[in-house]
Amino acid sequence: MCRDASHASSRVRAWQYVEPLWELGHDVDVLTWQPERSHDVARLAATLIARARRADVVVLVKPRIHPAVLAVLAQVQPEIWVDLDDAVWTWPAPFPNRFMQAARHARGFVAGSRWLATRLAERLPGATVALVPTAIDTAHYAPPARRSPQQPIVGWIGGPASLTDFIPPVADALRSLVSEGRIAVRVVCSSALDASVVPSEFELWTPETEVASLQQFDIGIMPLRDDERSWGRCGLKALQYMAVGAPIVASAIGAACEIVENDVSGILASTTSEWRDALASLADDEDRRAVLGAAAHRRVEDAFSVSVVAPQLAAALTPTR
């Protein structure tokens, strides 16, 4: 099995499955498609074709390889699957065209959420679509031994492009609670959140400190815009918070509705008042945070852990020939 992956998704949709799939009897070879110079494309293409010749299945994660390379790949190894954890048809060029070119050669698709699987089936009638939810390694993402008694930290982790998700409903609720001194907001990212949006602490994200940063959160938040791109996102933030035992407040959009059991393992919110009430109820009640946080961790272990999802992925990618 050979998996081609863009850099952003390679960790979650590819690298973390290497060992679990090996334990299930599958060899996995991951090639991260991240050319920096034009001659890198030729080198990566040659590597991909060589590895594909030895593979039974090739999985293209959010494909963006050149059509000429794709055509050669399809001749060498027709057992091509496309893996998506985003609605890439909503992304800027060249992603939509590259996705459709790959889709024409694909034997099937792996979708990271039920919503995404449904949309793929609608856009590509007759296509084989397997639902394999985004998962997380619960041996790596684990609750801390204890959380220090302090002003509750409402945490957010993500890339700089997602800072635009701090839209008025959640930003208004956060500003209100910060001004009352009931919470502190912490943003873990490569860029700080503008203080005019929400006054917040900034912590630089690094892969080495990511888990430790998450373990400091008393509440995790996943605000999302109500658009097709957000509906197609597969809830990695939610899984990260929940895996470390932090209760989550999330926009009732897309995969969040599949991952979060409302008022059991987290709270779904839409309006400013819903966001404020949810955050205030958790900020003011340490016991409730503990109960929802424990339920959140169990939810991830039971349904969204790598150990649970790896067999689903292996079953989905069984060659058709």
Q: What is the pLDDT of residues 29-75, one digit of tens each?
A: 999 888 888 788 899 999 999 999 999 999 999 998 999 999 999 99
Cβ–Cβ under 8 Å, residues 159 and 190: yes
Cβ–Cβ under 8 Å, residues 116 and 88: no
pLDDT per residue over 232-291, tens digit each?
Answer: 999 999 999 999 999 999 999 999 999 999 999 999 999 999 999 999 999 999 999 999
Do 113 and 206 lie in a common domain? no
Q: What is the mean pLDDT of residues 111-139?
A: 96
Answer yes or no: is 142 within a domain: no
Do 200 and 214 lie in a common domain? yes
Do 248 and 167 lie in a common domain? yes
Single out the residue of 51, 61, 34, 52 nearest to residue 313, CA to CA: 61
* pLDDT of 280: 98
* pLDDT of 36: 80
Answer yes or no: is 119 within a domain: yes
**Token digits for 78?**
């027709």
The pLDDT > 90 percentage for the chain reads: 88
**Residue 60, exposed/middle/buried by CB under 10 A (0-12, 13-18, 19+)?**
buried
Answer yes or no: is 109 within a domain: yes
In total, the chain counts a number of residues equal to 321
Do 160 and 244 lie in a common domain? yes
Tell me which H or E stretch contains 31: strand 29-32
What value, to the nearest 5°, has the Cα angle with vertex 194 and ends 189 and 196? 150
Answer yes or no: is 270 within a domain: yes
Tell me which H or E stretch contains 43: helix 38-54
The number of distinct structural domains making up the chain is: 2
Do 167 and 198 lie in a common domain? yes
Do 168 and 277 lie in a common domain? yes
The region that residue 127 occupies, defined by phi over 0 for left and psi between -120 and 50 for alpha, beta otherwise, is beta
Do 126 and 184 lie in a common domain? no
In which domain, by residue range, is 19 found?
Answer: 2-135+306-316
Cβ–Cβ under 8 Å, residues 108 and 130: yes
Q: What is the mean pLDDT of residues 154-171?
A: 97
Q: Would strands 153-157 and 219-222 be described as parallel, antiparallel, or unpaired?
A: parallel
Answer yes or no: is 100 within a domain: yes
Site of tokens 């208004």: 172
Do 118 and 131 lie in a common domain? yes
Answer yes or no: is 145 within a domain: no
Cβ–Cβ under 8 Å, residues 104 and 70: no
Site of tokens 């008393």: 218
Answer yes or no: is 199 within a domain: yes
Phi, psi of 254 (to 5 degrees): 60, -135
CATH of the domain at 18: 3.40.50.2000
Do 208 and 312 lie in a common domain? no
Site of tokens 């409302």: 262
Do 158 and 131 lie in a common domain? no
Helices first, then strands: H and E counts in the chain = 14, 12
Bridge partners, 214 (sequence order): none
Between the CA atoms of 49, 51, 53 and 59, what dihedral angle is there, to the nearest 10 degrees?
-80
* pLDDT of 9: 65
Answer yes or no: is 141 within a domain: no
Tell me which H or E stretch contains 186: strand 184-189
Do 311 and 295 lie in a common domain? no
Task: State the DSSP string of 187-237.
Answer: EEESSPPPTTT---EEEE--TTTHHHHHTT-SEEEE---SSHHHHT---HH
pTM greater than 0.85 (yes/no): yes
Do 83 and 164 lie in a common domain? no
Cβ–Cβ under 8 Å, residues 143 and 206: no
Extract the runs of DSSP E, i.e. beta strands, from 210-314.
219-222, 248-251, 266-269
